Structure 1
């Protein structure tokens, strides 16, 4: 399933796209700025639509993703406007968080502008794939492929709306992000595995794109909620040493906390929440790859969602008392059968 970032198209973009159905606009360059989809550049028609493609690479930034909304010369029978090509440029050297944000926003942009306007799509990490020669190669490739069924097209659209971080024929779809881990964070995990501490908090350095150390200590189960931030996402590991039904247990608990604005929290920015969410599985592997079994995984928004009682009930659900079957009394004069 694809995940939309929720980043909206600005009113200006919607207006300019609408006007472009009637005016001399050839293409519109769209970028994400201040959590909005905005127009960064616009170009007018100077020749036929294939010839004008040769000007597209000049507006592409070698390090930053963008979308190009490219108007063809033909109109759809069903629509009053022109047919458009949706171009998604994702350079290999762009930061991972940018690739993810643009990938998860693509479907939302098409939906807000009207997906039916777009009759073709091109994805690539290379600028030359968007010029006339690149487009012609794209069309030849399409014609050589076997036609897809409706279900196949839907699955492809879902994948492309997910975490697409590559481009062209070598593109790839990832379901998680594996950032490098700083030494201090690794040292804290080793202390946790070695039972020198029973609590470790990890975070992400968004700018440097790495997993970093937050804090570590020895705490009581009643203190776990006090470690949950109401403003910042975090990863938490807690070892709950306790006795249950005569057994001495060390239960490992992994908590991903991500404030979303509910329950008295302040919502973290969309891109930060998405990046944390996509990293949680790989952070979990810092323990599991050391053959440490995680007994309980929790995803919460606020400190109010976790307590000693909730942890204990998740680890050891109360036993439901088995209801005895109702025995229908025998009719007068009828003997009971004894088994």
Structure 2
């Protein structure tokens, strides 16, 4: 496994990607590493279907034959999802190959992995033609062969579910992407979160077997009260509806939070970690009115979450308060000369 490079995304890149997600009219964002930072190098708007727009990547004005790049690509279906193309040509310099290979994880982490539902690795521009992408989709959808051990584990899980009487029927028992079910009240709580106009919080926990996602609590804390409403000694997921005016026009964002205090048992840390990407993806279709932010919040110190934390995490900067021109200011009396001794 290659080590990460330590290279991070610039605020320019995170802002450009957030704007593209909001506008829904950007097809490609080319990302390059310049001065040990990830920057947006080129933005290409949508002009046709994804297959039609892929032809634009063949131009040397977009991708060079011997220079690596990342290409963030908006999908047609589902329209909110993105594809990450990692273009590292065989003819590139060895140092560049290593640098781009080790910076993949920081790139996705800084832009939120939940938005990227697929990835494609290309060593030549022929790997990202429309026909090559169709072949990629066929390979992706093909059933993967299972080893004998994997088949045995699958049979054990199926037997355990059958023995526990877990059913998968009805909207109140929605099946999660990692095999979990949604307990009663979870879906309704998330829909109510979207319907409201004020700040609201839904806290979810896994049952002791790690099979069902249960509704733990709902409340209406302010952003500054958020940390006090999360469990302090055990892991949880949370969705926080956050109305704010740090952008124009004001909006109401939904923040997905994965909290895992350090004293949490190793078993639960592993279970929660395995679903921290797929859980918000599962909930995303329920949010018709509010915007589920692409980046998630991960913390081991839930008490530290407040409005300043969220502002820093998502790059929102409120305008500095300035005194009015006619505001009476106290007169500062000048200091006299120092006494002689």
TM-score category (smaller protein): 0.3 to 0.5
TM-score by length of 1: 0.41
TM-score by length of 2: 0.41
